[in-house]
Structure 1
Amino acid sequence: MGGGTSRKNHSEVGSAYVHFNYTPQQDKATPSLIGDVPRGVMLREAPIFLGGQGAIAGPVQIAYGTVISAGVVCRTDCLKEEMIVSHPPKPASSKKFYPGLYGDVSHKVASNILYVANLLALRQWYRYVRHGFFVREKYGDDLYAGSQKVLENALTERIVQLRIFAKNLEKAATREKEIKRIFSVKAWRSQNQFLKNWPAMEEYLLKGNEENISLKRKESFLKIMKKQSGEFKTYLEAVKLLTPLQAQRGSAWLNDIVQGITSGCLSIYQHTKQ
């Protein structure tokens, strides 16, 4: 979750807010991206407000400046910035549930890839930007090691949940005719593509490809931050005193990572094996 510029102007999660992440098909491949990494780390985006007694049914993406009214369950992406989301309660309805069967999973797959890509960008930010500030503080090395551990755990958790998702689809694959009849041929293809291509997708996500993306922008921005770290004592001071153009350069580097990893992994997912 990103958003906000300071402790007085920050994103907010209201009282008793819930992120629903466990599906009836018994998987947790449902991460939600609230804001993003490339812009969020620059501490100059509009805050996001999630009203109390509300919830998110993941996976969804929520743009900066979004206000979700109290009591609302957000079930879809909110991609337009600075909008109030206040859906009226849906009338009660019921329909047939098919245990173990999925519909079109393409949005779910894309959401997971985007989330992992943001984690990889955040790891680059900590590795090459925040590290220089950590080491100047007492216990800085330990704090940096801890931050890396948290990021590694988050990444590992996403991969584990995608593996579970793949196993669920493998079980469902024995019911191909049912899936096509109940949902659609497109739904079946979206599942089959993920099932066949997941090993290559996992390898791609864990290979460290983010290290080799947008190297010129990375080098240019790191020079700026090196100068900032020499002039200002704290990480927050250095980031907040970046000019708009300098901040844009940093965001562009991180966004290249997010877009590069996302498009690279999606191309593997969408590849049809003969």
Structure 2
Amino acid sequence: MTPDLIAALSALLEQAQAWLAGGGLVFARVGPVFALAPVLGERAIPVRIRLVAALAMTAVVAPAVVGAVPVPQPAPIPVALFLMQETLVGLMLGLALRFLIMALQMAGTMAAQATSFSQAFGGAGVDPQPAIAHLLVVGGLALAAIAGLPERLAALLVLSYDLFPPGHWPTPSALATWGTTRVAHAFALAFSLAAPFVIGAGLYNLALGAINRAMPQLMVFFVGAPALTLGGLALLVLTAPLMFTLWAPALSAVLANPVAAP
């Protein structure tokens, strides 16, 4: 081997080591996102498939951000601190998306409780949940996949290196404010989605009480239970498209800027 070839191979090896180190640091942020993100992070998907998807996303994101990722000093403590910071940022991004799925689960649970479907047809997924909640979650995941979630998730990961520069820890106060805001938004969104069912259940109970006062001998529960079931199903058919119409912009807002106030 000629000296020129040896020098070229040495330079190529150094560049490959730098790329591998940068790719590993990018994976430290991508991995937690894929553990919590909708569609790609569902527990129904095998762990190996999720790992391969996370590695593929790392290969997509790394060329765009590897120049902005500083390689820490080759010592255990600096490397561990850097990996912890990247993992924390990845968990924040993943939780921002996972809270939206939790909002669908909470909305479905509230709707099922209001329409006496909380125990009927439940447990249809990995997580035990009412049938309405399972239906809303599956619909939300399908809507996210149709809307191009993988491509938008890659854009979010690239944007995150501007929002959270590598090597800089988020301040505890800002992190606490962000977390409480996201949790509050998830509960508010869930109640907004389930509001028609809660209002309908309230009107149903008022009507049932009035009928019971007017006709004490009538067993209103046996008369009203079929009406409640039919009304709940009809209300679900009518309001499900509107619920996803409200939920989809919330998902788009998080994908556009996960740190902005909802």
Q: TM-score normalised to the size of structure 1?
A: 0.36
In terms of Rg, which structure is larger?
A: 2
More helix by share: 2
More strand by share: 1
Choose between structure 1 and 2 for higher RCO, CA contacts under 8 A separated by at least 6 residues.
2
